[in-house]
Chains A and B, each alone.
Chain A
Amino acid sequence: MKKYFKYALLFAAISTMTLTTTSCSSDDNNENTEATTSSEMQAIAENYVKNVVEPTYTDLATNTQTLYEACQNLYAKRKAGTLTQTDIDAACNAFKTARKYWEESESFLYGAATDNNIDPHIDSWPLDHDQLVKALNDKDVIAGINGAQADKFVYKKNHDFDSVLGFHGLEFILFRNGANRTLAALTAENETEKQLTSIKTLDECAFAVAVAGDLRNMTSLLAYGWMGDKASESVKNTVNAAKWTLDGTHYAGLSSKGIGYGLEVISAGSANGMFPTWQETLQNIFVGGCSDICQEVYTQKLGQAYRVATGQGDDQDAADYIESPYSKRSFQDYQDNIYSIKNSLYGLRDINATVPAKNSLMNYMQQHKYEGYTALNNALNEAIAALESAKNSGKAFIDAPGDAQVKNCIEKVQALDEALNAAGAWIIRQK
């Protein structure tokens, strides 16, 4: 989050008055004590970790494994000369599903993803095509990505191709111009993309397997980071088989206390706590989690390309600032980011939900008569609707970065960000 709490103390006054009313009413059966507040907040944090964060990362790890296997199949059949469009489509669909879970995890990038460099390792852009050309014309790289531990090679030896890793490296191989790669394109001897024609498509397919293996490892590292020993056997097996990913972290993949980040989040006030208080824990969900990605969406993911395209930025090409240009799924990515925020606030994973979980931030705000509740809920829904409209407009972001619909999305996501920060300022004052 990058937000100065300009409304912090205004809400302090509001919340204090609300509490005054609540606590001093002699016939109020919901009198709030420090103990009940802690209990309520702890339940929210526990539900958030158990029913939002952990299952999202478990699904992400599971689906990157599926993606890895789809890429293995693609490469094997490409080598055997039996590749079909169905195989390509399967890999593309697997990509989309895994990508969705990653984008839906971005409202809780704090902790393992950030501390262990998983983001940006698996999600950086723009791709430097020159790097890809050099890498796939380098006999050492070709040997590495075809070796017994291609995933390890990608992790350890990516220095000269570190811009083409992760989701976007795979996106480039699997998608072009907003569509799945065609059978003709992937069975041609060489790349058909301008300036990339020296690349052999067979090597591209091998590269996809190697990068997908690394992606699978890193998302398992992420799930392990939050869940520790509670992670699925599949996750633990993957991490154990890729110990080099643990070696690349500061605390063997876990938090500084040697426990999963999930346990840290639900241990406020104890030596294992990420924060000293439950209020700070919940505020960080609003601010360090939700606002952080919300602000990135409107200031950078949408904002930078829009500013450049409309002459408010520098003289670079707006397209260079746009994520997911090959699949043309930028608006989908950003909407999934907002769904991630919704999941965090609602305490469940249902993008169509209208009723939040009992132990959720939304329910807490509603029960405690937070005056900004409706504004926040509306801002959330309007941001999702704006991106839905952009998604369905027929104008991909990469094709019309200066379009009015982008401005609308920016404004709606910015409004959501302000509402999130206001809620963060409110929650920390609850007692």
Chain B
Amino acid sequence: MKQSIYFLSSATVALATLLTGCSDDATGIQTNEMPEANYIGETTGNFSAEEWYPGGKLGTTENIGSSAYSDQTPVVDENPSLFNAFFAGEQMFERNYTENKAPFKGLGPASVRSSCFDCHPQYGHGKWQAQYRTEYANGNGYLLVIYHPNHEGSNDGPYVSEVTAMPQTQASAPFLPPVNENGINIKWEHVTKMESGLPMHFPDGESFDLIYPEVTIAQSAFNTKPQPTNYDVRLESTIGVIGTGLLDAIPNDSIRAQYAKTAGYFKRAGMNVAEYVNSSFWDASANDFTANAWYKAGDRKFVKRFTYALTRGTLQDGPGANAIWNITNVSRPDRPYLYTTSAWAQAMSENPDVITQIKANPSSPYYADGTDAGIADAVRNLLDPKTNQFDNKWHNFTPDQTTEQFYNFMVWHRGLAIPRARNLNDKEVQRGKKLFMEIGCASCHRPSWKTGNDDYWEPEICAGKPLPRYPHQTIYPYSDMMQHKLYMKNDIHGSWCRTTPLWGRGLSLINTGAEDRLHDCRARNEIEAIMWHAYSKNSHAYSSALKFYNLPKSDRDAIVKFLRSI
């Protein structure tokens, strides 16, 4: 089917060429440039035919409009069973979860958000927020990162243990949220001088503005016992969810080769490999992955490739598969435990208002024998993350989400397409690509990968049910799937950040109404995002960003247009 489409495309261009040639000079009618659509699927300038389809033939949608991010891949389109499951799963993503109303039920007792849509507005990157406020579908994609800094001002250090790693600011009555949102404050500061010494304007005089967040949380905002001490806060925004099924299909060995190539470069240059390739994932002396680089799923293992911190290795046990459980605390048969902390459970069990409210409601699952001590004991244990919610002596809940719903959700997740590229026939875009390669952006924003057989792993509760597959596709995510350091002011927790895929980002504004970039949405456009790469001379991308800084405006604009086209 697709091959015949490509054949038609060639024929179309030929016909269109004929059309161009039949203008009648005598009438003065101008011949026209061919519409972009006539180049699609064709080699044009320095773009190959394949680059029009960043998700490969199996993973790209032709939709480049306001609904592109929500599209299913051709694989889903051509399979009625997957098609139906995709749209059933889509609802799981979009709808608001409540405590009791099926089919979107099970919210709480503590939650980060009530809907996936809250953090992934219209499937895209989270939106910049002046303050941290959660509300259904408001686009606040921030997760709070609350950690004990290794030293003052450090981005590094372990998470506090009193609240969950993705801290919750919502709770079902009568409980209080682990973190009270009113105690969170974000102050956006402007950079007046970059550490690198570069001025806040380009050599031709065009200025740029860089902002970064200072985030604080009052200790009194923590409804935990004990309350955390000696902590700092960072923000991490969600990124888009499109195309993640394709990233899942990249073979482990291909990622290993990327690490080896990168490490080899720095080794040959006589530089400290561990400074440039995260030693917690790559053993430079052994020239191979560390044990930590692998994510175990059943009897399989995958190179970690998802999340900024590279914590997940397979999509089917990845950020989304987990988030549908732990962001909402919606349980399912294979997730019988709550995403909470013992410190929160303890605080709630000692809260007189909580006890009083439960005592007034004998139908509460936390009622126990109705005594203060009995209620406190039930609360402390039922809210504890170590208590099996379906099998305990206090109250046995039933799973909120069915296995069928979870399967549908995973079909949807793995079935999201990447929009086709735009304007590749545009000379300015072609110039932008040339410069992007020349100044070294592609060293980290690696343009393409080839997927393997895509013998994906799936959890036992989905066993035997097919998910969309993307074998042997050339894809263009523009990420090396590794981490690097930019040394920004108030940088990401952990300092290392996975290279964010750039595919489809140019459609963010039309799809989501915003196009903020970087891990905490500090960059409001591409220029700011790039110049944050030049904030410090220690930045792994400083050399490339410096070259960008010194380009004439027309070339900077060409790179931006390229970024918006891929």
List A residues at the B interface (Cβ < 8 Å): 1-6, 8-10, 12-13, 16-17, 19-20, 23-24, 26, 31, 33-35, 110-111, 114-117, 120-121, 124, 126-131, 134, 158-160, 162-163, 248, 250-251, 256, 274-277, 279-280, 283-284, 287-289, 291-292, 299-300, 303-304, 307, 312-317, 320-321, 425, 428-431
CB pair B102–A320 under 8 Å, yes or no, is yes
CB pair A283–B65 under 8 Å, yes or no, is yes
Whether, in the assembled complex, B388 has its beta carbon less than 8 Å from a beta carbon of chain A, the answer is no
Q: State the CA gap A321–B88 with chains docked (Å).
A: 10
Q: Assuming the A-B contacts A24-B22, A114-B513, are A162 and B65 also in contact, with contact meaning beta carbons closer than 8 angstroms in the complex?
A: no
Whether, in the assembled complex, B237 has its beta carbon less than 8 Å from a beta carbon of chain A, the answer is no
CB pair A162–B34 under 8 Å, yes or no, is no
CB pair B84–A307 under 8 Å, yes or no, is yes
- In chain B, what residue has the closest Cβ to A299? B87
Contact of A117 among B35, B61, B94, B137 (CB under 8 A): B137
State how many angstroms separate the Cβ of B486 from the closest Cβ of chain A. 25
Q: Which residues does chain B contribute within 8 Å of A111, judged by CB atoms?
A: 66
CB pair B101–A163 under 8 Å, yes or no, is yes
State how many angstroms separate the Cβ of A242 from the closest Cβ of chain B. 16
Q: Which residues does chain A contribute within 8 Å of B515, judged by CB atoms?
A: 256
Whether, in the assembled complex, B25 has its beta carbon less than 8 Å from a beta carbon of chain A, the answer is no
CB pair B23–A8 under 8 Å, yes or no, is no
CB pair A4–B73 under 8 Å, yes or no, is yes
> Within B1-22, which residues are at the interface with A (CB < 8 Å)?
1, 5, 8-9, 11-12, 15-16, 18-19, 22
Whether, in the assembled complex, B262 has its beta carbon less than 8 Å from a beta carbon of chain A, the answer is no
CB pair B63–A117 under 8 Å, yes or no, is no
- In chain B, what residue has the closest Cβ to A108? B66
Whether, in the assembled complex, B99 has its beta carbon less than 8 Å from a beta carbon of chain A, the answer is yes
Number of A-B contacts (CB under 8 A): 218
Q: State the CA gap A256–B122 with chains docked (Å).
A: 16
The stretch of B210-218, B294-302, B331-339, B401-409 that contacts the partner chain = B401-409
Please tell me the number of chain B residues within 8 Å of chain A, measured between CB atoms: 80
CB pair B15–A117 under 8 Å, yes or no, is no
Q: State the CA gap A251–B516 with chains docked (Å).
A: 13
B62, B87, B90, B95: most-surrounded residue (chain A CB, <10 A): B62
Sample 28 A-B pairs with CB under 8 A, ordered by A number: A1-B70, A2-B71, A12-B8, A12-B38, A16-B16, A20-B15, A33-B30, A34-B33, A117-B136, A121-B137, A126-B104, A128-B99, A158-B135, A248-B135, A256-B513, A256-B515, A280-B64, A287-B67, A304-B88, A313-B84, A314-B103, A316-B102, A316-B103, A317-B103, A320-B103, A321-B91, A425-B62, A429-B35
CB pair B71–A4 under 8 Å, yes or no, is yes
Q: Which residues does chain B contribute within 8 Å of A131, judged by CB atoms?
A: 98-99, 101
- In chain A, what residue has the closest Cβ to B95? A124
Q: Which residues does chain B contribute within 8 Å of A124, judged by CB atoms?
A: 95-96, 136
CB pair B8–A163 under 8 Å, yes or no, is no
CB pair A120–B96 under 8 Å, yes or no, is yes
CB pair B63–A26 under 8 Å, yes or no, is no
CB pair A292–B67 under 8 Å, yes or no, is yes
Q: Which residues does chain B contribute within 8 Å of A127, judged by CB atoms?
A: 101
CB pair A431–B137 under 8 Å, yes or no, is no
State how many angstroms separate the Cβ of B26 from the closest Cβ of chain A. 10
Q: State the CA gap A162–B107 with chains docked (Å).
A: 13
Whether, in the assembled complex, B271 has its beta carbon less than 8 Å from a beta carbon of chain A, the answer is no
- In chain A, what residue has the closest Cβ to B117? A120
Q: Assuming the A-B contacts A16-B19, A159-B170, are A9 and B67 also in contact, with contact meaning beta carbons closer than 8 angstroms in the complex?
A: no
Contact of B405 among A129, A162, A276, A314 (CB under 8 A): A314
State how many angstroms separate the Cβ of A237 from the closest Cβ of chain B. 25
Q: State the CA gap A321–B114 with chains docked (Å).
A: 18
State how many angstroms separate the Cβ of A269 from the closest Cβ of chain B. 13
Whether, in the assembled complex, B509 has its beta carbon less than 8 Å from a beta carbon of chain A, the answer is yes
Contact of A3 among B33, B63, B509 (CB under 8 A): B63
Q: Which residues does chain B contribute within 8 Å of A284, judged by CB atoms?
A: 65-66, 510
Q: Which residues does chain B contribute within 8 Å of A315, judged by CB atoms?
A: 402, 404
CB pair A314–B72 under 8 Å, yes or no, is no
Q: Which 7 residue pairs of A and B lie closest in terms of their CB atoms, listed nearest first? A: A115-B513, A288-B66, A288-B65, A110-B66, A128-B101, A5-B62, A128-B98
CB pair B71–A307 under 8 Å, yes or no, is no
Q: Which residues does chain B contribute within 8 Å of A256, judged by CB atoms?
A: 509, 513-515
State how many angstroms separate the Cβ of A174 from the closest Cβ of chain B. 20
State how many angstroms separate the Cβ of A51 from the closest Cβ of chain B. 21
Whether, in the assembled complex, B389 has its beta carbon less than 8 Å from a beta carbon of chain A, the answer is no
